[in-house]
Structure 1
Amino acid sequence: MKVAKFGGSSVASATQFRKVADIVSSDVERRIVIVSAPGKRFKDDVKVTDMLIQLAQAAIDGKAYDEVLDEIVKRYAEIANELELPAGEFLAELQDDLRWKISEYRNEPCRLMDAIKASGEDHNARLMALYLQETGLEASYVSPREAGIFVTDEPGNAQILPESYEKLYQLRNRRGVLVIPGFFGYSLDGHIVTFPRGGSDISGSIVAAGVKADVYENFTDVDSIYCVNPSIIANPRKLKEITYREMRELSYSGFSVFHDEALEPVYRAGIPVCVKNTNNPAAPGTWIVAKRNHQEEPIAGIASDTGFCSINISKYLMNREIGFGRRVLQILEDEGISYEHTPSGIDNMSVILRASQLEGEKEKRILDRIQTELEVDEVNVEYGLALIMVVGEGMERTVGMAAKATTALAKANINLEMINQGSSEVSMMFGVKEEVVTNAVRALYEAYFQELPVGNSVK
């Protein structure tokens, strides 16, 4: 059994719907299909999810929303009409559903936002099931509630409840192709609750784990996962295989292929993932697996992200002061701030975090508390940082990985603001100024990947 998830670009238009139908009908093992809301059809297009957020926000603010609601219905109507579907009843239900949700949750903004956002996937799954039936397939729409996707009641941040998996397994007994909307589940009280954005990947992973699928296929708009962002390196090396842990590190560090939580269910269940291209399904794609051969290439990929800052703290004999680090982090916790890394020396400590978390008066309060409560010699904030993550499980058993990186960056005349390597040795983190991050990534790519023969992708 295969569970196939199709992202927003894969279901953005009637043309894409036809491709999905061809892919599903070409393999009888594709028994369960997870769909996103319609994505962008072209570069400057608007995703349906963004239109739904606009609709919900207008309703929350008490503003007119008929125009955006009509645009949403029009998007689905265009798909249905081009597919020559008898969709009058479907479109009427779509409009009634959106108006009912606005009326039902008008005084509960978080509930309203979740219910409206989830409509994108929900109605796209209904439309996909309708189209698959028209092509002659035995297909049916299955709501997340009927499937058994029960989640915590945290609007916008749902977590799957363990009892869901037993219910999901029963889907194996159903006939035909099952089409399930991604991105949301139901609380035990019956409320619609969405996963974090990108949550259709999470839905697909949960369903694959629940039904104990042999393979979880994630269809997107690229032939494979690349070892680096193609907008930085032209025609970068394609990955044939990458491990769950490597993919998790890269996703967290800026890779846009997967939400960084999306792989957890299939990782736990040991189900291999294949990332494939809806527009070129014959391409082999990239396999995400538990283990791969690291000998030929210990590095899996390089990811980068901007928008970080560093709180730098200095105090003589800091290393002798028991509980110093805990008290620093307690101050951040009091302000509701999460951190990324905490590189340190014997007399200094840095805390790397998203710069957006220090907006308003938070920066001054935090610096004042660190200065006063910890009696430090110096504390300041450095903005404009970018983090680069070099990821590969093979680094642990390969000599000279860090030296290769620092040598490459030095040759490129790039100053390192910090270096940090986790105890697992799956990744190395380098901090640089935002204005040189692109050149830094290029230097690292040349150091780690351009020595390989052209035809030798990671195996």
Structure 2
Amino acid sequence: MKVAKFGGSSVASAEQLRKVASIIQDDKERKAIVVSAPGKRFSDDIKVTDLLIELGEAYFNKQAYEQQLQAVLERFREITAELHISNDVITEIKASVESILESNQTDAIKMDALKATGEDSLAKVLSAYLQSLGLKASYLNPKEAGIIVTDNPGNAQILEESYAELYKLREREEIFVIPGFFGYTNDGTLNTFSRGGSDITGSIIAAGVQADLYENFTDVDSVYSVNPTIVENPKEITSLTYKEMRELSYAGFSVFHDEALIPAFKADIPVCIKNTNNPNGIGTIIVSKKEPQPNPVVGIASDTGFVSIYVSKYLMNRELGFGRKLLTILEDEDISFEHTPSGIDDLSVIIRESHLPKEKEERVVARIKEVLNPDTIHIDRDLALIMVVGEGMDSTIGLADKATNAFAKANVNIEMMNQGSSEVSMMFGIKTGEVKEAVKSLYETFFTE
């Protein structure tokens, strides 16, 4: 059995859904189908999920929401008309939205239910279209499928007990279409995964049914070794390990939601990224292990929007609990950290800029001064992180030297450098405005020279 997940761009229009149906028909092993909500049809278009979020925000702010609702209904009306299938889903969407808004649930739960409407409705549309083509297909609600999640609206986690229920889906003979992005708590409340969570659903289903392959169809032929908006026509990556993909996803690669691979990784299921518009392309296969490659570096990723908290104190290394106290202060302030490069007398903590707004910064600095009495403390904003990623880097001599020379060639100053204990990546901190030049130089060093 194969699990095939189709992203927002793959289900954005009737034309795209015809391609999806053709892909499903081409391989009888594609029985479990997971879908996102309709995405953008063109660059200035609005995703259906964004329309539903706008609708909810308007309602909660006691503003008119009819315009957003009509836009959602029109998107689905256009799809059903072009596919020549029943438009009953239009009536269902309108009734569902009104029912959600009039319910006695909290605003967070209402918003989750609204956001899930796009995926749920698209799954019904696709299953109806497959049936119209003479295929034995059905819509399958996540509750019926057995996707049981924690009670965390907007950030639900799958419960282990789900997998035994999902395994029963192997007994189904027909194609079943499951909406991505959400599941149900044990008490029957709908909760969504974090944004982009349809990828998570696909991975969960693949692990649950113990699929031979999890195919993730998107709008690119493969994962590229670097952001194609920075480097023109970059090298395609045909194979990656889970660890490499996780590092690349974290550091700005947008092909995959960075939590999406965890269920598939634990179940050791291969994942293949393919293009809905070019389904016969090789794509990128993601596996637990791969053969050593001549070039150990598989990709270069970058992301912006980071802050560094730098703390220095003489004989810090002899002061028991110094690091723990610093991280406890951040925990108390609801701040998670990304990296902690350190020396004998100094320590830096890298965090997302969104976690440390200016009004919180003064309070955090004051607490650090009071608790740790440092010699120096300062905040560096406007930081970007660049990750050089590859499983074979730990056994290759001179990679760090090549990387630092690449920064020197681009005349870019390295603010900080850190290599994780896993030795799958090297992290460099630089100023945001220098990202493009640094990435281009690194790409030339590792992929063209």
Aligned residue type for 2:26: S
Partner of 1:186: 184
Quick one: percent identity of the two aligned structures?
A: 60
Q: Is the 8 A contact 1:183 1:199 kept in 2?
A: yes
Aligned residue type for 2:175: V
Aligned to 1:146, the other structure's residue is in SS state: helix
Q: Distance in 1 between matches of 2:160 and 2:14?
A: 37
Partner of 2:98: 99
Partner of 1:383: 381
Q: Distance in 2 between matches of 1:196 and 1:216?
A: 20
Number of matched residues? 449
Partner of 1:30: 30
Aligned to 2:33, the other structure's residue is in SS state: strand
Q: Distance in 2 between matches of 1:416 and 1:360?
A: 25
Of residues 160, 163, 166 in structure 2, which corresponds to 1:165?
163
Q: Is the 8 A contact 1:371 1:378 kept in 2?
A: no
Shift of 1:104: 1.1
Shift of 1:136: 1.1
Q: Residue by residue, what CA displacement relative to the aligned partner does 1:135-194 show, whole Å, maximum 9, x if unpaired?
A: 111100000000000000100001001010010011111121100000000000101100
The structure 1 segments of at least 4 consecutive aligned residues displaced by more than 3 Å after TM superposition are none
Shift of 1:92: 0.9
Instruction: Please list every run of 5 or more consecutive structure 1 residues that lacks an aligned counterpart in the other structure.
Output: 452-459
Shift of 1:294: 2.5
Aligned residue type for 1:12: A
Task: Write the mapping of 1:4-43 to structure 2, written as runs, cut at 5 A.
Answer: 4-43=4-43
Partner of 2:89: 90
Q: Residue by residue, what CA displacement relative to the aligned partner does 1:404-442 show, whole Å, maximum 9, x if unpaired?
A: 100111121111000000011011000000010111111
Q: Distance in 2 between matches of 1:75 and 1:409?
A: 47
Partner of 1:62: 62
Partner of 2:52: 52
Aligned to 2:443, the other structure's residue is in SS state: helix
Shift of 1:351: 0.7
Q: Is the 8 A contact 1:205 1:265 kept in 2?
A: yes
Aligned to 1:171, the other structure's residue is in SS state: helix
Q: Distance in 2 between matches of 1:271 and 1:373?
A: 47
Partner of 2:337: 339
Q: Is the 8 A contact 1:49 1:120 kept in 2?
A: yes
Partner of 2:436: 438
Aligned residue type for 1:47: K
Partner of 2:403: 405
Task: Write the mapping of 1:59-138 to structure 2, written as runs, cut at 5 A.
Answer: 59-87=59-87, 89-105=88-104, 108-138=106-136
Q: Distance in 2 between matches of 1:357 and 1:272?
A: 35
Q: Which stretch shifts more, 76-85 or 42-51?
A: 76-85
Partner of 2:150: 152
Q: Distance in 1 between matches of 2:50 and 2:293?
A: 44
Shift of 1:213: 0.5
Partner of 1:350: 348
Partner of 1:275: 273
Partner of 1:454: none
Q: Distance in 1 between matches of 2:352 and 2:90?
A: 42
Q: Distance in 2 between matches of 1:123 and 1:90?
A: 7
Aligned residue type for 1:131: Y
Partner of 1:296: 294
Q: Distance in 2 between matches of 1:250 and 1:363?
A: 29
Shift of 1:360: 4.2
Q: Is the 8 A contact 1:149 1:185 kept in 2?
A: yes
TM-score, normalised to structure 1's length? Answer: 0.97
Aligned to 2:160, the other structure's residue is in SS state: coil
Of residues 137, 140, 145 in structure 2, which corresponds to 1:139?
137
TM-score, normalised to structure 2's length? Answer: 0.99
Of residues 307, 324, 332 in structure 1, which corresponds to 2:305?
307
Q: Residue by residue, what CA displacement relative to the aligned partner does 1:81-135 show, whole Å, maximum 9, x if unpaired?
A: 0111122x22111111111111114x51100110000111000000000001011
Q: Which stretch shifts more, 279-288 or 60-69?
A: 60-69
Q: Which stretch shifts more, 96-105 or 25-34?
A: 96-105
Task: Write the mapping of 1:117-266 to structure 2, written as runs, cut at 5 A.
Answer: 117-266=115-264
Shift of 1:359: 1.2
Aligned to 1:361, the other structure's residue is in SS state: helix
Q: Distance in 2 between matches of 1:120 and 1:360?
A: 36
Q: Residue by residue, what CA displacement relative to the aligned partner does 1:202-258 show, whole Å, maximum 9, x if unpaired?
A: 000000000010000000000111011110111000011000010001101111011
Aligned residue type for 1:72: V
Aligned residue type for 1:86: S
Shift of 1:261: 0.8
Q: Distance in 2 between matches of 1:367 and 1:114?
A: 36
Partner of 1:424: 422
